[in-house]
């Protein structure tokens, strides 16, 4: 339930390796029932941050809590309520899907029905297939199943769709939404902008070990340097003076006869009014909204 109790709390977490700080005073809280994204470029500190949440790393400073528990001091209790799909994980090549699910379910005192879980994730048709023979999408589905077999309250998914084709990626997105809808809180680590925009209720953008922004996807997009670009070729030339007076215009660029204006929705309306007043036709008119990619580039460039 968004806006409810925080099930994950990270306060001032810091981690360094060989004198190099990779996580620098990172703080965020994840509400129970949401999909919370951690977004950032490669090497930004995303994986180290979630490894501190999972109890796989001990932060040098700061605190991490999962349902009020310390992932290190209370490791056994945390592993019973947190499931994880690691960024890089492999099973024994000859292990079948059914064998893997049965084995992992034996690790927990109150596991989910692994057969029901396998059917829900579309794995029931490959029970007897060895891990080495599974497709990339099937391996990812199995990773999700193994992360869920312990009936966790929280599941951490790290770069889940890397290497998948577009169809398999979108199928996996639907699975993640289904997981959230079943009442499980999802902490999703990704560097795919579209994935974050599609799935996440809120996103923490991490760059060079620091949280540089934390907001909803639409909130982050609203932070982009200019939210709208209108591009067109006018039927007659427009002067710089006419264009620079447009309200909200952040920049005006000319490429041969074509004009690109970055601004706001108000700028778009002003351009349309300007063209109408002077009976100018806009050829190849295109209006583009800012994307999460734009916001991400603005935020990480500012951090640099």
**The pLDDT value given to residue 1:** 43
CATH superfamily of 223-292: YebC, transcriptional regulation domain (3.30.70.980)
Domain segments of the chain as ranges: 223-292
Decide which of 142 and 87 is more confident.
142
Q: How confident is the model at residue 290 (pLDDT cuts 50, 70, 90)?
A: confident
**The pLDDT value given to residue 131:** 95
Other CB atoms within a 10 A radius of the CB of residue 263 amount to 21
Decide which of 191 and 73 is more confident.
73
CA 288 centroid distance within chain: 22
Does the pLDDT value for residue 79 go beyond 80?
Answer: yes
Distance (Å, whole) CA 78 – CA 88: 21
Cα Rg of the chain (Å, integer): 24
Does the pLDDT value for residue 222 go beyond 80?
Answer: no
Above pLDDT 70, what percent of the chain? 95
User: What pLDDT digit, counting tens, does each position of 228-272 carry?
Assistant: 889 999 999 999 888 888 998 888 889 889 999 988 888 999 999
**The pLDDT value given to residue 283:** 94
User: What pLDDT digit, counting tens, does each position of 192-209 carry?
Assistant: 888 898 999 999 999 999
Does the pLDDT value for residue 115 go beyond 90?
Answer: yes
């Amino acid at each position: 339930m968004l806006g409810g109790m925080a099930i994950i709390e990270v306060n001032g977490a810091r981690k360094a390796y060989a004198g190099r700080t990779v996580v620098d005073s990172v703080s965020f809280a994840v509400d129970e029932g949401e999909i919370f994204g951690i977004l950032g470029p490669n090497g930004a500190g995303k994986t180290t941050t979630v490894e501190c949440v999972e109890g796989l790393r001990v932060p040098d400073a700061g605190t991490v809590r999962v349902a009020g528990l310390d992932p290190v001091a209370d490791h056994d209790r945390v592993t019973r309520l947190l499931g994880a799909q690691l960024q890089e994980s492999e099973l024994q090549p000859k292990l079948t899907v059914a064998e893997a699910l049965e084995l992992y379910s034996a690790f927990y005192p109150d596991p989910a029905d692994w057969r029901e879980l396998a059917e829900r994730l579309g794995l029931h048709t490959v029970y007897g297939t060895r891990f080495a023979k599974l497709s990339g999408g099937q391996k990812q589905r199995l990773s999700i199943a193994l992360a869920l077999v312990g009936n966790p309250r929280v599941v951490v998914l790290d770069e889940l769709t890397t290497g998948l084709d577009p169809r398999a990626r979108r199928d996996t997105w639907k699975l993640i939404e289904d997981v959230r809808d079943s009442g499980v809180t999802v902490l999703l680590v990704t560097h795919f902008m579209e994935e974050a925009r599609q799935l996440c209720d809120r996103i923490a953008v991490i760059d060079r070990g620091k949280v540089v922004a934390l907001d909803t996807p639409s909130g982050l997009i609203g932070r982009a340097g200019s939210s709208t670009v209108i591009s067109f070729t006018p039927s007659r030339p427009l002067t710089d003076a006419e264009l620079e007076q447009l309200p909200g215009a952040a920049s005006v660029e000319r490429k041969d006869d074509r004009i690109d204006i970055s601004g706001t929705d108000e700028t778009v309306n002003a351009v349309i009014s300007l063209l109408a007043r002077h009976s100018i036709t806009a050829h190849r008119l295109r209006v583009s909204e800012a994307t999460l990619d734009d916001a991400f580039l603005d935020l990480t460039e500012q951090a640099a």
